[in-house]
Amino acid sequence: MKLAKKDLLGIQDLSVEEINLILDTAESFIEVSTREIKKVPTLRGKTIINLFLEASTRTRTSFEIAGKRLSADTINISSSTSSIVKGETLIDTAKNLEAMNPDVVVIRHSAAGAPHILAKAVKQAVINAGDGSHEHPTQALLDLMTIRSKKGKIDGLKVAICGDIAHSRVARSNIYALTKMGASVAVAGPATMMPRYIERMGVQAYSKLEEAIIDADIVMMLRIQLERQNEHIFPSLREYATYFGLNRKNISLAKKDVLVMHPGPVNRGVELAPDIADAPFSVILDQVTNGVAVRMALLYLLTGGN
């Protein structure tokens, strides 16, 4: 079976079958990363361009490792300057990349929709590695994989996603992913961090962290972007940490076997109390490991692997 798609732009356009296919394929790749020689020849001769127009060491590294373990040639283009500054439009960039005949273009961009514009302009497969506040599909897939491997299922679980929902691509992708897979999702954060009509995405919204956490199987904490303080969406880090940070006390409201997740990097002492990230119920490092496998699976599936 293969993925009948040219691109992976978001979870919103994936079916449950496609999600399961990606997760199953990712699981089969987990083993490769534990070998002594962590390389299979699957994508030998294929070229992957990692176009990272927004700083991100983790996701870029994860994609690069994924490509290399499949024996693809991976090229990284990193730049924080926008196309406007360079005097080149996104379409120009796209056409230039296309002319070099890569097989996959992985794009991370600070502007929502940039991967969609790119995907329309090039014939190659495009993978969205995070676009503005829109989607971060590979993050949601690795989160699903982590939940599935730890809990044995996703259907019927209660998941709380907490933090700046309005500006979070991780939240959006996970809301699509989790609700499609049958989980019930609660989101929590100050009203200033809730986008309009969020409940229409099929979630329960709370302005009190505790209400969302009660009986949760999974608590997913989002990273606070400190520069957002200028937009008046929270008064101070101290206040945020006190009322919206996860700590030993409020985590006790969740189920006994709760798992705590975070897309990283963690602001210790802000969204997570200093000792929470390393607690036994934290699966933050499993998420990172699964990230490589999920990205290997996508590179494989989108290059027509079978």
Residue list 134-193, contact with other proteins (CB under 8 A): 134-135, 166, 169, 172
Using the rule CB under 8 A, which residue among 112, 214, 237, 279 binds other proteins? 112
Active-site residue, selected from the candidate residues 46, 108, 169, 180 = 108
Contacting residue, 25, 74, 83, 267, with other proteins by CB under 8 A: 83
Kindly state whether residue 131 participates in binding other proteins, applying the rule CB under 8 A: yes
Exposure on the CB side of residue 129, measured as CA atoms within 13 A: 29
Q: Is 116 in the site for other proteins (CB under 8 A)?
A: yes
Nearer to other proteins, 96 or 242 (CB): 96
The CA–CA distances, whole Å, from 107 to 97, 197, 203, 245, 274 equal: 12, 29, 28, 31, 33
CB 106 within 8 A of CB 49: yes
Alpha helices (runs of H) in 195-252, residue ranges in sequence order: 209-213, 237-244, 248-251
Rounded to an integer, what distance in angstroms lies between the CA atom of residue 16 and that of residue 14?
7
What is the rounded distance in angstroms from the CA atom of residue 79 to the CA atom of residue 59?
Answer: 15
Q: Does 200 bind other proteins (CB under 8 A)?
A: yes
- Applying CB under 8 A, among 198, 241, 298, 301 the residue interacting with other proteins is 198
Say whether residue 33 binds other proteins (CB under 8 A): no
From 35, 38, 39, 58, the catalytic residue: 58
Asked whether the bond before 265 is cis by omega within 30 degrees of 0, the reply is yes
Q: What is the spatial distance between Cα 225 and Cα 267, in angstroms, rounded to a whole number?
A: 9
The total number of residues written for the chain in this structure:
306
Least separation in angstroms between residue 91's CB and other proteins is: 4
> Residue 109, interface with other proteins (CB under 8 A)?
yes
Give the range of 128-136, 241-249, 251-259, 269-277 binding other proteins by CB under 8 A. Answer: 128-136
CB of residue 222 to other proteins, shortest distance in Å: 14
| Exposure of 125 in the CB half-sphere (CA atoms within 13 A) | 21
User: Which C-beta is closer to other proteins: that of 49 or that of 94?
Assistant: 94
Nearest distance from C-beta of residue 133 to other proteins, angstroms = 4
Query: Which lies closer to other proteins via its Cβ, residue 24 or residue 199?
Result: 199
Question: How many helices and strands in the chain, by DSSP H and E?
Answer: 11, 9
CA 144, 70, 112, 288: dihedral to nearest 10 degrees? 40
Among 101, 123, 196, 256, binds other proteins (CB under 8 A): 196
Cβ atoms of 147 and 154 within 8 Å: the answer is: yes
Is 60 designated active site?
Answer: no
Positions in the binding site for other proteins (CB under 8 A):
12, 82-84, 89-92, 109-114, 116-117, 131-135, 166, 169, 172, 195-198, 200-201, 231
Catalytic site residues?
Answer: 58-59, 86, 108, 136
